[in-house]
A and B are shown apart, each in its own frame.
Chain A
Amino acid sequence: MSNKILVAIDGSEGGKRALGAAVEYAKLTHSSLILSYIIDWSPYSFHTPEELDERQKRRESEIQRAHDSILNPEIEALGDQNLSIETVVRHGKIAEALKNIADEYKATQIYIGKLGESRVRSMIFGSVTAALVQTSLLPVTVVP
């Protein structure tokens, strides 16, 4: 059975380093990669009726934008390294959504950057990386 590595990309430097490390490992072990970008979203937020009306349209454009401006440039930057790469964009809470994707795509491990967010934010809301490490059932590699 081949390895599948799920890499969390968020457009930050930390995410880029995580991808770099994952690529090296994948080449060594002939694993395939799943690049994922999570759009932070909560089902419990409040909106005006007009916003709800436009939600579907917005969702599609958000997904499109994530592909165009974050995932695709990363893949292009990698160049042709003879790797099998899939991409996934999802809405949701980051740690939870990554876990769901890992389940769905039957990933065997997860790579994530250490510095994805500001210090203040992680002090108040807790770090996404820490949450993932705590709850994941798969090996998680945190790339500094």
Chain B
Amino acid sequence: MKKLLLLFSLVFIPFTNVYAGIDEAINNATAPIATFIGKVVFFKVPVFGAQLPLVVLWLVVGAVFFTFYMRFINVRGFKHAIQLVRGDYSDPKSHGEVSHFQALATAVSGTVGIGNIGGVAVAVTVGGAGATFWLIVAGILGMSTKFVECTLGVKYRQEFEDGHVSGGPMYYLRQGFSDRGMAGFGKFMGTFYAVGIFIGALGIGNMFQSNQAYVQLNTVAGGGLDGFGWLIGLILAGVVFSVIIGGIKSIARVTEKIVPFMAIFYCIFAIIVILMNIGSLPQAVSNIFTGAFTGEGVAGGALGAMIIGFQRAVFSNEAGIGSASIAHSAVKTNEPVTEGVVSLLEPFIDTIVICTITALVIGTAQVADPNFANGAQGVAMTSAAFQREFSWFPLPLAFAALLFAFSTMISWSYYGLKGWTYLFGESEKGQTAYKLIFCAFVALGCIVELGPILDISDALVFLICVPNILGLYFLAPIVKREMESYFARIESGEIKKFK
């Protein structure tokens, strides 16, 4: 432990000795890389005057296909998902194992992040109010994609002798393709995905989170932290370090417990703010619907709004990325379908409930005062919308944002780790090396500006959707067979209720 601390400080002390101008230097260095990666991943085709990134089309087509192919499992499975989470079908004999509720709660903590607060503001700024409509549609469709990937995650997970499990897209891609006689291709896809989730863990699950946490803290401090990104980054990295390497689980456990309450607290206040602006609500809702189909004032019109909405939805609920499938694989169940059904609730909570509420807070504020945000973006914009009603709100919001960011980072450190161990094996040394890299990126996230960071993490996360969804298409018939058999057995009473 001491050795590690020493190593950690050796890595970071150089940072502290340099003056704040380091921010700028790193920014200048990363911007061109971000532009390049962004251009490759978001290769755009012009459609009716709008620029449609192919990768977004890939995701949407996938989500629509799975919704139809699984015969609207997103709607049909909803009630059953709640029964499963409530434990109606859990055998008391197997108590003590990971429950459906626990797997869902952990996966939700991983997805409910700053995207829900800041990402929505970005969507509304760039795509107009109409983007919200498409965000919700994407959330509903994304439920089907989640179902498929989480079912497969459990089905093809690997159980080790000591009882721990590893699952996720890299395992189902490898095994699934191999079962279909394409072992070589499956191996390649698994490796590609593992590399992607590893790098993605450093972006969306790490730098983006720590960056937004810093921005939020700085806003609350009235800009007093300008140029101190490295310091905040260092502190955050230190806390993450103590949890994932130092094994100080108590910090993580406390956050895991606070995050759900924070989410509820956030929703309650958001609803109060919306109610206080009830006069602006009809106009805000109507803006969402008209904006969705006319795309007034948005580059690319309605299609532009749609693209932005879909893009932000995926960024928030991670459907199609396959990350949640890694978290859900820990569940002990003989029926992989049950975990898929439970995972339906994830995009529902994340995108349909929390993102929509945020969008309405911003929307009603915009109706009442179009310039309420004073040019602020991201989390700061959402914060400004709340501030109109509760002047003290930015402070708890900053705290919530910090916790959301933190729990997302902890979850993603695990996803990235699973990618890493898939590639390099389960050795302790290797895992520590990975965790050190992860901490370094936490600090880095606070140093560089939002622009290039957002571009890099967006791009990398979308990139791993390509192998993942391709795999889902190939394996969908297996999921469908399992799903039909499962629901038939529920119907016939072969699978019993315990409550």
Contacts and interface: CB of A to CB of B under 8 A. Distances in A.
Do A and B originate from a single complex? yes
B257 A46 contact: yes
Interface stretch (B69-77, B87-95, B121-129, B464-472): B87-95
A59 interface: yes
A53 B92 contact: no
B92 A43 contact: no
Contacts of B95: 41, 43, 90-92, 97
A49 B407 CA distance: 10
Interface residues of B, number: 38
Contact of B87 (A43, A48, A91): A43
B191 interface: no
Given A52-B103, A56-B97, A91-B95, A47 B256 contact: yes
B98 interface: yes
Q: Label chain A's interface by main secondary structure.
A: helix
A43 B90 contact: yes
Interface stretch (B161-169, B387-395, B448-456, B486-494): B161-169
Interface string A37-68: 00101011111111111111101101100000
B106 A49 contact: yes
A57 B98 contact: no
A100 interface: yes
Nearest to B87: A43
A46 B103 CA distance: 9
Given A43-B102, A55-B98, A49 B414 contact: yes
A96 to B, nearest CB: 8
B252 A48 contact: yes
Interface in B410-445: 410-411, 414-415
A65 B393 CA distance: 48
B39 interface: no
A57 B162 contact: yes
B164 A56 contact: yes
A96 B90 CA distance: 14
Contact of B92 (A44, A45, A51, A90): A90
B90 to A, nearest CB: 7
A56 B165 contact: yes
Which secondary structure dominates where chain B touches chain A?
helix
Contacts of A91: 95-96
Nearest to A56: B163
A52 B96 CA distance: 11
Interface in B353-388: none
A45 B102 contact: yes
A108 B334 CA distance: 33
Nearest to B332: A56
B430 to A, nearest CB: 16
Contacts of A54: 163-164
A100 to B, nearest CB: 5
B79 interface: no
A54 B164 CA distance: 5
B92 A92 contact: yes
Nearest to B109: A46
Contacts of B164: 53-54, 56-57
Interface in A63-116: 63, 90-92, 96-97, 100
A51 B327 CA distance: 11
Nearest to B165: A53
B53 interface: no
Interface in B17-50: none
Given A44-B99, A46-B109, A53 B330 contact: yes
A41 B411 contact: no
A52 B105 CA distance: 11
B227 interface: no
A46 B96 contact: no
Interface of B: 87, 90, 92-93, 95-103, 105-106, 109-110, 162-166, 249, 252-253, 256-257, 259-260, 326-327, 330-332, 410-411, 414-415
Given A56-B97, A90-B92, A92-B95, 9 more contacts: A43-B90, A44-B101, A44-B102, A46-B260, A48-B106, A55-B332, A56-B165, A90-B96, A91-B95
14 contacts: A43-B90, A46-B105, A47-B98, A47-B256, A48-B106, A48-B410, A50-B414, A52-B106, A52-B330, A55-B98, A55-B332, A62-B96, A91-B95, A92-B92
The 9 closest A-B pairs by CB, nearest first: A91-B96, A43-B99, A57-B163, A52-B330, A49-B414, A91-B95, A46-B256, A59-B96, A56-B163
